Structure 1
Amino acid sequence: MSEAIRLYVRWVDTFNRWVGRFAMRLIFVMAALMLYAIGSRLFFGAPVNWSMEMSQFLLVSYFLLGGPYSMQMGSHVRMDLFYSQLSARRRAATDVFTILFVMFYLGVLLWGGISSTEYAWSYNQKNYTSWAPPMWPVKAVMTFGIFLMLLQAISALFKDVAIARGKPIE
């Protein structure tokens, strides 16, 4: 593989590792938020109307920003009937074929995410709740997470092509 591809793979893997490790910590923010909401309701009799939505937004961020890191680590669920019996080169060739479908799907999601984020920004879209937060920040995070997942899928494609050719990228 060319040096440009190696640099791309190294940069994307490093960036997604950093973002993924940041996203892992969002679970603690979510837990603290839920504890605050419970404490506020039980001890002070003042329920917090924004806590449930905010925790949902954090959960979306947790999943979508952590997804590329999960793909990088090979932590996604895989249907394994025959896959584990294949050689490393044949597994890589199979992955090259299947990652193309994943990339197409992510491309469609990214296109829809950009359109939805643009709409939310242009029309100041708000959620239909008593808190009524603007929707563009969570939609922007979702679109960014999908974009990172697409970059990671391209990185996985390059790595699998290299393995299938018998020259893995270090």
Structure 2
Amino acid sequence: MNGLLRISRVIDAINGQIGKKVAWLILAAVMISAGNAIIRKLFNWSSNSLLELQWMLFGAVFLMCASWTLQLKEHIRIDIASNLMPKRVQQWMELLGHLLFLMPFSVLTVYYSWPFFMRSYAINEQSLSAGGLAQWPAKGLVVVGFALLTVQGLSEIIKQIAIMRGVIADDDTAGGLAAAAEAEAQRLLNQAKEQGIAP
């Protein structure tokens, strides 16, 4: 189990670094979008390549940060239902969700998107819009993004099994950073009540 946990930590570190770096592309997309709007208003000029670059950058963030988001437990969950169940049931739901839904979906997406990307790359597929960008890099992002998600899914399965076997502690951030922030807010509120600051 310790060897698998070491692999899990390496996967987490790699996907975390990729996510943190790729997330900066949101800023680039916003700047390009704002610049394109300003240029269009001031000079009555626009470019299809700039418009396509915006959605490609957003697509890159969405796909390349999905594994980091999974690692942080920030994907949408049905917390209302699962929080009513015993902790052990929640752990089984987490494990089976990864095994039966996430992994097959991610593996099949990689499997079917690879030839889709390779065909596009082989013909150097270009945009149908005049002055647009090449399309194969965007299709390649699907392969890379879901490959990273698959590997992160494996890491999550390893960690969940370790938690269920009592090898590692179950952290209290099962709801992601939002849940952690809510817990901290509640702690501060309780502290303020004890000090007589809050009603």
Task: Report % sequence identity.
Answer: 21
Q: Which residue in the other structure is 1:36 paired with?
A: 35
Unaligned stretches of 5+ residues in structure 2: 171-199
Q: Partner of 2:164 in structure 1?
A: 164
Q: Relative to structure 1, is the Cα distance of residues 132 and 47 closer, same or farther in structure 2, using a 3 angstrom cutoff?
A: closer
Q: Which residue number in structure 1 is paired with residue 150 of structure 2?
A: 150
Question: Contact conserved, 1:89 with 1:166, CA < 8 A, in 2?
Answer: no
CA shift, 1:169, in A, is: 7.0
Please identify, of 139-148 and 79-88, the stretch whose mean Cα deviation from structure 2 is larger.
79-88
Deviation, 1:81, is: 4.1
List, as ranges, runs of 4+ consecutive aligned residues in structure 1 with deviation greater than 4 Å: none
Report the CA distance between 1:17 and its aligned residue.
Answer: 0.7
Count the aligned residue pairs: 169
Task: State the TM-score, normalizing by the size of structure 1.
Answer: 0.92
Please identify the structure whose Cα radius of gyration is greater.
2
Residue identity in the other structure for 1:72: Q
| Equivalent in the alignment of 1:14 | 13
Q: Please report the RMSD computed on the Cα atoms of aligned residues, expressed in angstroms.
A: 1.7
1:86 aligns with 2:85: yes
TM-score when normalising by structure 2: 0.79
- Kindly provide the CA deviation profile for residues 134-170 of structure 1, in whole angstroms up to 9, marking residues without a partner as x: 2111111221111000011110011111111122279
- CA offsets per residue over residues 48-94 of structure 1, 9 Å max, x none? 22221111111110101111111111111101343113344432222
C-alpha distance in 2, partners of 1:68/1:169?
22
Q: Distance in 2 between matches of 1:30 and 1:63?
A: 12
Q: Quickly say closer, same or farther: Cα 1:85–1:37, change in 2 above 3 A.
A: same
